[in-house]
């Protein structure tokens, strides 16, 4: 297993002169599940976006290292998989076509095809793989987002509201994957769901942090 470390140093985010959060500092190593919690509007999703490089912090920095070697942009992205309600799929493509497109973007070879099928089965949408995503329910789309995020087997998996839009089957599939990710890499997730929080080694309450400013 490669030694992966993610560090946040004094992260601050300000929107329209309003401080969402400030001086967020933590360090996460492999074999760890790290949960971000807090009341609505406390900045959980904003912090997730900063961790994944989707947003830039107003102040502070996020750093990723593998075997003590710093990973810089854009080489940062192959190490991360992100699942979030605000990410979009290609609605006019089927599930298979979405995953094939992502495979090409990530430069993955044909050996990924078998794993792609395994993921579709794991998340219960294999039988619907030929259907256009526009005909999927919100829960099926969420399951496909997991397939897309896991296709390159990222050492760091980041989930924003892991159980969002999912039924009982989907939630079970996601939580099984969360357990597996924690064993073989790093898991970061943002949630207020107590059933999700049971998987966390560390719980970072960003709402409590803000209230103490």
pLDDT in tens, 64-97: 999 889 998 788 899 999 999 889 999 999 999 9
In angstroms, the CA 68 to CA 109 distance is 28
Name the token pair of 210. 């803000």
The per-residue pLDDT for 72 is 86
The per-residue pLDDT for 212 is 43
Residues pairing with 71 in the sheet: 64
pLDDT > 70: what percent of the chain?
Answer: 97
pTM of the model: 0.94
The per-residue pLDDT for 1 is 56
What are φ and ψ of residue 136, in 5° steps? -80, 150
In angstroms, the CA 89 to CA 133 distance is 8
Confidence of residue 210 (pLDDT cuts 50, 70, 90): low
Confidence of residue 189 (pLDDT cuts 50, 70, 90): very high
The per-residue pLDDT for 207 is 73
Domains and CATH numbers, the chain: 4-211 (3.40.50.300)
């Amino acid at each position: 297993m490669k030694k992966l470390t993610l560090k946040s140093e004094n992260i601050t985010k300000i929107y329209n002169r309003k401080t969402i959060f400030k001086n967020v500092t933590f360090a996460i190593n492999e074999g760890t599940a790290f949960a971000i919690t807090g009341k609505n509007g406390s900045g959980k999703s904003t912090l997730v976006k900063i961790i994944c490089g989707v947003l830039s912090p107003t102040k502070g920095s996020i750093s990723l290292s593998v075997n003590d070697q710093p990973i810089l942009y854009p080489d940062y992205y192959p190490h991360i998989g992100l699942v979030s309600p605000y990410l979009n799929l290609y609605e006019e493509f089927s599930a298979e076509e979405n995953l094939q497109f992502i495979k090409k973007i990530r430069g993955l070879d044909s050996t990924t095809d078998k794993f792609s099928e395994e993921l579709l089965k794991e998340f219960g949408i294999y039988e619907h793989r030929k259907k256009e995503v526009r005909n999927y329910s919100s829960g099926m789309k969420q399951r496909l987002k997991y397939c897309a995020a896991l296709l390159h087997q990222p050492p760091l998996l980041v989930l924003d509201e892991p159980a969002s839009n999912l039924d009982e089957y989907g939630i079970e599939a996601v939580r099984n994957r969360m357990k597996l990710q924690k064993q073989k890499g790093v898991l970061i997730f943002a949630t207020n769901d107590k059933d999700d929080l049971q998987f966390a080694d560390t719980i970072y309450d960003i709402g409590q942090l803000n209230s103490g400013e």
